[in-house]
Amino acid sequence: MSVTCSVIITHLNCPAMLDGVIAHAKAHRNPEVEYELLIADQSRPDIHAMICSKYSKDKEVRILKCPKVDAGWPIDCAVKVAKGDYCCTLDVDAFPIHPKWLLIPIRLIKEFGIGMVGHRTGLDVAYQHKGVFFELNNYFRVSKTSLLKELSEQVGFLRPNAMSLARFSPRNHEYNAFSAGNDQHNLGNWADTGVIANWYMDNKRLGTKLSLCMNKFLGKAEYVGAYGMVLDDLVFHLVLGYAEDYMTQERINGFGADFIRAKNVINNGPTLEAIRSMVNTCQDNNTIRTMTSFAGGAISFIEPPQEISAFIDSEKKAP
């Protein structure tokens, strides 16, 4: 029997890239997973109207208009109406590239009791003074919808300084104590989206998190000038996406010719062929998978047991 998954794609004024993500999601489907593509859209009115018209007859795609409040707010908006048993969050520059891109994370949750599957970018390191927790990024994370709903209701995925604009009141009474502070890491000023949701999940022991490895990357080096990453052969995340619009020309020039090529892919609309070409030019990487452990009541980060890693590797190769 198939399972259902709501794929939440956050979008802001990038219709060509959105078309690419939708095309990749449809091209890399598995019959064991039925899903809806829930577009959490913060675009300006003309673009919103355009994508609504384009996908009006597509029964797999739902367009949800969200106020332009914060990069994490669309997740909170979409989770409220998600219909699937599972939820997957995708940035508009994260492209599925494997037919089991959803099935493998879902099976890890079902068969190994994993609470959430995604990718760790190390944001938690910046907040160690707030206590130990394990961060998975919003651009690709899969969990049971019930868990994502709890995280959204209790603390939300938006930044703390966007709460008043979103008219959001977290239910968790420890939220303010965690987000408050007067040092350079003041969460209220610059916390990334989803940081507090990660902290809440670990703080309440709501389930272990599994971080997939970044096994390939496009750029200069891992996390230093890397602007495209392949997550365990399942998803290719362009990383910068449309964020390059906010960078200085000096920084853009520093990335080199490959970055210009990536920008051209973005500007011309990311087709299946273009993304496949970029993935094929990625360099190999040796980042290991990581997961949380609550042994002895303390949180620690460990390499997953061999049976989990072996399961992922065998599933990727199986038809």
Mean pLDDT for the stretch of residues 190-213: 90
pTM, entire model: 0.92
CB 33 within 8 A of CB 102: yes
What 8-state DSSP symbol labels residue 202? H
Position 114 in a domain: no
CA 116 to chain centre: 11
Nearest to 278 by CA among 90, 97, 91: 97
What 8-state DSSP symbol labels residue 96? E
Position 50 in a domain: yes
Tell me what the pLDDT averaged over the chain comes to: 88
Segment 217-276, tens digit of pLDDT: 887 665 556 678 899 999 999 877 656 555 677 777 776 676 777 767 776 777 888 888
Segment 268-301, tens digit of pLDDT: 777 888 888 889 988 898 889 999 999 888 899 9
Position 55 in a domain: yes
Q: Which helix (H) or strand (E) holds 149?
A: helix 145-154
Task: Report how far apart, in Å, the C-alpha atoms of 165 and of each of 22, 68, 69 are.
Answer: 30, 9, 7
CB 136 within 8 A of CB 151: no
Partners of 61 in the beta sheet?
A: 37
Find the largest Cα–Cα distance for the chain: 55
CATH number at residue 62: 3.90.550.10
Half-sphere exposure of 233 (CA within 13 A, CB side): 12
Position 247 in a domain: no
What 8-state DSSP symbol labels residue 126? G
Nearest to 74 by CA among 18, 130, 133: 18
Question: Bigger pLDDT: 240 or 186?
Answer: 240
Position 179 in a domain: yes
Domain carrying residue 195: 3-107+137-207
267 CB-contact burial (10 Å; exposed 0-12 / middle 13-18 / buried 19+): exposed
Instruction: Say how many C-beta atoms besides its own lie within 10 A of residue 59's C-beta.
Output: 7
In the prediction, which pLDDT does 193 show? 81
Mean pLDDT for the stretch of residues 181-200: 69
Position 220 in a domain: no
Flag whether pLDDT at 190 surpasses 60: no
- Distance from first CA to last CA of the chain, Å, rounded? 18
- Tally the domains of the chain: 1
Mean pLDDT for the stretch of residues 159-186: 76
What 8-state DSSP symbol labels residue 211? E
Ranges 13-17, 143-147, 262-266, most confident:
143-147
Nearest to 166 by CA among 68, 48, 79: 68
Position 212 in a domain: no
Position 270 in a domain: no
- Euclidean distance between CA atoms 105 and 164, whole angstroms: 34
Task: Report how far apart, in Å, the C-alpha atoms of 37 and of each of 10, 109, 116 are.
Answer: 10, 20, 19
Ranges 67-76, 79-88, 179-188, most confident:
79-88
Of 147-156, 171-180, 296-305, minimum mean pLDDT range:
171-180
Q: Which residues contact 207 (CB under 8 A, 6 or more apart)?
A: 113, 114, 115, 116, 143, 147, 201
The type of residue at 197 is A
